[in-house]
């Protein structure tokens, strides 16, 4: 019996050492210490020591371990590890590991999270937001842009160029604005809340494209020539990678450049003949300079021995002979400039390669590196901006619009949608704040940017769907007074661009995350690839035993979490957020444990098991989104008024994390392994609940009642109450309705009738003459009625007005 107790004590010691990640040598030493005590008590005999030494010597003595264990592991590893393509390798190499690394560690460092500085605007950036950004939002007439012109009017184009909207990423020394990523995000949020055409037109030149590529890789001559011209708006850029045969699989572009000699401005020079067919290219129809991606070939060896140099990026001026450019696509009724570009055998100098000849073949690396930054900013920010404006507008509309003699926002069914809109808007803003600060700290967070791109664009799709449902027919009838319909139509655009979402979720987030953020996987790959045999063995030994220790530790952590819900763990705050930190810590250990088991059991097949990979990616993403939300809540002073949104975002995300874990385990191909994992990770079923109806009721109320919390939810959005501003008008009408209601109730009481809240102007006249209300109250009622009607009414048209202008012209011609 005593021997068995000591066996348990030794086992417990190993678990504690593993939980605390003491390392191999310390663990052996600690276990030996416990064994000595057990021996002194007379309860551990020679058999116990024999087992201990049989394990400790081969593991603890480095030479024995390397020769007899590591060598075999290395040989097996080399056999099962799939080959990595060059593009995969470059994607893995691109970017940096940031908070995503902590998430994969199994024990995120919350002090580090809260130590990351808060995003701040410089006075210049704030002035830009309050000045030109506010002004251009006021210039926008969405109906004119979307329906009449199918473009922004010339005065908006000019305004954007004059105020350097296209130059937020260009350095000041070239005449650009050189804004922080955080500031760019705030600008794009505000623009997106007003007009999708405006935000995408501004977003693209500030994202992946000539400006970004030149800034990082351009030669001095290219930078000196192009960057000032891009900053002043003299040049409009676009970037052309996608073609009919290569969309998601962009590395497979069939477009080629063949190195050859040719005549250029009267002289024979070394250049390339380009043949390409590109489509979906944003700004292409109006672009003056095209960033072009193609595969460079050198069959005659004019540059060296390498005949296939690989993907290369060049800048092609619009007036280059043979360029077929100018036609437009029509992306889901959101007519930002987008179209195809084609060229056949176009001869251009080698100097057109971004970065010059030395960067020939480096195009893919350049693209993935820049994408890891751009994907963090443009699409997530436009999604967050859209959601914030939607939250305020839908709350206001739901409070103004009445059915069954009640504001529709007071119906429980509608509250569910309002809560989802508000909670998501809070989370989305939190994520853009956190992630753009990461970029400003110098990170190129490729995994984080894929998380932001996927989840924020998906959440925007949910938000706009919910907003449409709450608005009913008002959202559906297009016209100058519809502020939702085009955003709803255009939602799939952001889902598709910059890496379509199915691919992003199923392949990129976890695929790159597991490689880049896991503390040992990349080290093992790098070690196994070393030329020097001894170095290879030493490095692999370090990585593989680190990895085994890490996996065991996460197993112990997962078990501890399963039985205690991390109740006894520390959290940085002791308020009602403490539980979230503890749960997230547990899920982080679960993620690391599931990752290691999956890689161990499935090896290279995991790459093909996309749906498993997607669910692990969901766990990783969920922990990231939750971390960003907790950080925002803290940065804003842990305000109780904002707590409902924070709780909703956390509870929803934790529920989603658990769903992903359960689905992963239910679908894991090896059932015995899946059951064993389940017993360790989640033996008692779910621990997290979805947000309650009570919590959702609180958020619905916040959205429908002006308050500091509601203002923070829409922070920075264009809500000017100037005439013509649809969102400002909604805000004003909401204020008026709320002020008007007590007056209306008084009239009902005096008249002894329960009147409908309609025709308030007429009611005001009657109540004024009956002496129930005064002049000011009557004026308020009249203004409220006018706003109420503007809010609930929709546009109607003559049949002729709806016929597209070109069709009308056609009709006119045939009549003539």
Ligand X SMILES: Cc1cc2nc3c(=O)[nH]c(=O)nc-3n(C[C@H](O)[C@H](O)[C@H](O)COP(=O)(O)OP(=O)(O)OC[C@H]3O[C@@H](n4cnc5c(N)ncnc54)[C@H](O)[C@@H]3O)c2cc1C
449 lies in the site for ligand X, by CB under 6 A: no
454 lies in the site for ligand X, by CB under 6 A: no
Nearby residues of 439 by Cβ (< 8 Å), 6 or more positions away:
181, 373, 376, 377, 445
The alpha-helical segments, DSSP class H, found in 472-609 are 473-476, 485-496, 501-503, 510-516, 521-528, 533-564, 578-602
Query: Residue number with the shortest CB distance to ligand X?
Result: 247
Minimum distance, C-beta of residue 447 to ligand X, in the bound complex (Å)? 17
Question: Can you tell me which of 496, 569, 659, 705 binds ligand X, judged by CB under 6 A?
Answer: 496
Stretch 75-94: interaction string toward ligand X, x if CB under 6 A: --------------------
Question: Can you tell me which of 27, 223, 242, 588 binds ligand X, judged by CB under 6 A?
Answer: 242
Nearby residues of 248 by Cβ (< 8 Å), 6 or more positions away:
499, 500, 503
Check residue 506 and report its DSSP letter.
Answer: I
Minimum distance, C-beta of residue 553 to ligand X, in the bound complex (Å)? 32
691 lies in the site for ligand X, by CB under 6 A: no
Question: Can you tell me which of 198, 396, 507, 517 binds ligand X, judged by CB under 6 A?
Answer: 507
Residue 278 has which token pair? 């590109």
Annotated catalytic residue, options 369, 415, 443, 498: 498
Query: Closest by alpha carbon to 726, among 486, 480, 473, 491?
Result: 480
Binding to ligand X, residues 338-357 (CB under 6 A): 338
In terms of CB distance, is 497 or 630 closer to ligand X?
A: 497
378 lies in the site for ligand X, by CB under 6 A: no
Binding to ligand X, residues 457-486 (CB under 6 A): none
Whether residue 239 contacts residue 212, with contact meaning beta carbons closer than 8 Å, is answered with: no
In terms of CB distance, is 241 or 772 closer to ligand X?
A: 241
500 lies in the site for ligand X, by CB under 6 A: yes
206 lies in the site for ligand X, by CB under 6 A: no
Binding to ligand X, residues 268-287 (CB under 6 A): 280-282
290 lies in the site for ligand X, by CB under 6 A: no
Residue 813 has which token pair? 């011609």
Query: Closest by alpha carbon to 447, among 365, 513, 511?
Result: 513
**Strand stretches in 236-266, DSSP E:** 237-240, 256-264
In terms of CB distance, is 22 or 503 closer to ligand X?
A: 503
Separation in Å, CA 579 to CA 9, 167, 638, 650: 30, 44, 15, 10
Sole window of 218-226, 233-241, 730-738, 786-794 interacting with ligand X (rule: CB under 6 A): 233-241
In terms of CB distance, is 201 or 717 closer to ligand X?
A: 201
Query: Closest by alpha carbon to 751, among 743, 784, 789, 759?
Result: 743
In terms of CB distance, is 241 or 645 closer to ligand X?
A: 241
Question: Can you tell me which of 538, 610, 636, 663 binds ligand X, judged by CB under 6 A?
Answer: 610
Cα distance between residue 504 and residue 450, in whole Å: 7
Backbone angles phi, psi at 539, to 5 degrees: -70, -40
Sole window of 41-49, 95-103, 499-507, 617-625 interacting with ligand X (rule: CB under 6 A): 499-507
Binding to ligand X, residues 243-262 (CB under 6 A): 247-248
Whether residue 423 contacts residue 648, with contact meaning beta carbons closer than 8 Å, is answered with: yes
Whether residue 348 contacts residue 274, with contact meaning beta carbons closer than 8 Å, is answered with: yes
Minimum distance, C-beta of residue 332 to ligand X, in the bound complex (Å)? 8
Residue 408 has which token pair? 């529709």
Q: By rule CB under 6 A, what count of residues binds ligand X?
A: 23
Block residue for tokens 């109450």:
721
636 included as an active-site residue: no
Cα distance between residue 588 and residue 594, in whole Å: 10
213 lies in the site for ligand X, by CB under 6 A: no
Note the residues at the interface with ligand X (CB under 6 A): 238-242, 247-248, 280-282, 331, 338, 493, 496-500, 502-503, 506-507, 610
Q: Which residues belong to the active site?
A: 498
């Amino acid at each position: 019996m005593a021997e068995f107790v000591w066996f348990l004590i030794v086992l417990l010691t190993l678990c504690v050492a593993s939980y605390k990640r003491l390392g191999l040598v310390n663990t052996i030493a600690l276990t030996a210490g416990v064994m000595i005590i057990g021996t002194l008590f007379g309860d551990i005999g020679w058999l116990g020591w024999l087992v201990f030494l049989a394990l400790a010597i081969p593991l603890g003595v480095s030479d024995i371990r390397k020769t007899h264990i590591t060598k075999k592991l290395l040989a097996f590893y080399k056999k099962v590890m799939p080959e990595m393509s060059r593009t995969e390798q470059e994607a893995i190499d691109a970017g940096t590991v940031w908070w995503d690394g902590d998430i994969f560690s199994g024990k995120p460092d919350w002090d580090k999270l809260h130590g990351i500085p808060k995003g701040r605007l410089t006075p210049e950036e704030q002035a830009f937001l309050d000045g030109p950004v506010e002004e251009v939002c006021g210039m926008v007439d969405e109906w004119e842009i979307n329906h009449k012109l199918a473009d922004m009017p010339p005065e908006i184009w000019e305004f954007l160029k004059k105020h350097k909207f296209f130059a937020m990423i260009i350095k000041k020394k070239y005449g650009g604005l050189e804004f922080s990523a955080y500031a760019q995000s705030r600008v794009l949020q505000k623009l997106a809340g007003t007009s999708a055409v405006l935000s995408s037109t501004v977003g693209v030149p500030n994202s992946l494209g000539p400006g970004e590529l030149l800034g990082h890789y351009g030669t001095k001559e290219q930078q000196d020539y192009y960057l000032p011209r891009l900053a002043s708006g003299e040049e409009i850029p676009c970037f052309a990678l996608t073609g009919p045969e290569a969309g998601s699989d962009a590395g497979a572009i069939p477009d080629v450049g063949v190195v050859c000699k040719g005549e250029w401005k009267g002289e024979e020079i070394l250049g390339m003949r380009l043949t390409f067919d590109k489509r979906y290219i944003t700004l292409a129809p109006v672009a003056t300079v095209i960033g072009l991606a193609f595969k460079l070939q050198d069959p005659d060896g004019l540059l060296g021995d390498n005949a296939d140099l690989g993907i290369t990026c060049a800048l092609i001026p619009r007036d280059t002979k043979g360029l077929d450019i100018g036609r437009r696509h029509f992306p889901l009724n959101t007519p930002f400039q987008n179209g195809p570009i084609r060229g056949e055998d176009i001869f251009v100098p080698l100097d057109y390669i971004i970065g010059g000849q030395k960067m020939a073949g480096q195009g893919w690396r350049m693209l993935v590196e820049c994408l890891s930054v751009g994907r963090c900013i443009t699409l997530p920010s436009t999604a967050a901006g859209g959601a914030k404006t939607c939250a305020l507008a839908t709350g206001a509309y739901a409070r103004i619009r009445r059915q069954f003699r009640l504001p529709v926002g007071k119906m429980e069914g509608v509250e569910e949608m309002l809560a989802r809109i508000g909670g998501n808007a809070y989370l989305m803003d939190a994520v853009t704040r956190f992630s753009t600060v990461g970029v400003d700290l110098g990170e190129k967070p490729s995994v984080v940017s894929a998380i932001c791109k996927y989840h924020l664009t998906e959440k925007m799709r949910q938000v706009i769907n919910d907003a449409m449902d709450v608005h009913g027919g008002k959202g559906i009838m297009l016209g100058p007074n519809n502020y939702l319909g085009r955003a709803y139509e255009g939602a799939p655009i952001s889902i598709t661009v910059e890496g379509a979402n199915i691919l992003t979720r199923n392949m990129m987030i976890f695929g790159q995350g597991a490689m880049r953020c896991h503390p040992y996987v990349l080290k093992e790959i790098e070690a196994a690839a070393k030329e020097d045999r001894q170095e290879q063995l030493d490095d692999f030994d370090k990585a593989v035993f680190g990895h085994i220790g890490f996996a065991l530790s996460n197993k112990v952590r997962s078990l501890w979490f399963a039985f205690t819900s991390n109740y006894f763990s520390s959290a940085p705050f002791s308020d009602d957020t403490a539980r979230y930190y503890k749960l997230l810590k547990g899920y982080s250990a679960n993620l690391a444990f599931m990752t290691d088991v999956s890689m161990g059991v499935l090896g290279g097949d995991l790459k093909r098991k996309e749906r498993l990979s997607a669910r692990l990616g969901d766990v990783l993403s969920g922990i990231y989104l939750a971390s960003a939300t907790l950080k925002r809540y803290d940065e804003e002073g842990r305000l109780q008024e904002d707590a409902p949104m924070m709780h909703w975002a956390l509870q929803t995300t934790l529920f989603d994390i658990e769903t992903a874990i359960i689905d992963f385990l239910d679908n894991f191909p090896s059932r015995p392994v899946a059951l064993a994992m389940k017993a360790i990770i989640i033996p008692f079923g779910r621990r997290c609940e979805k947000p309650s109806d009570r919590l959702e009721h609180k958020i619905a109320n916040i959205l429908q009642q002006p308050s500091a919390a509601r203002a923070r939810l829409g922070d920075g959005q264009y809500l000017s109450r100037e005439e013509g501003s649809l969102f400002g008008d909604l805000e004003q009408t909401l204020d008026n309705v709320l002020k008007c209601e007590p007056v209306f109730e008084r009239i009902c009481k005096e008249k002894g009738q329960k009147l409908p809240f309609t025709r308030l102007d007429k009611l005001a006249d009657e109540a004024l003459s009956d002496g129930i209300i005064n002049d000011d109250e009557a004026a308020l009622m009249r203004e409220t009625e006018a706003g109420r009607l503007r809010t609930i009414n929709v546009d109607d048209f003559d049949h002729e007005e709806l016929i597209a202008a070109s069709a009308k012209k056609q009709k006119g011609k045939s009549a003539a």
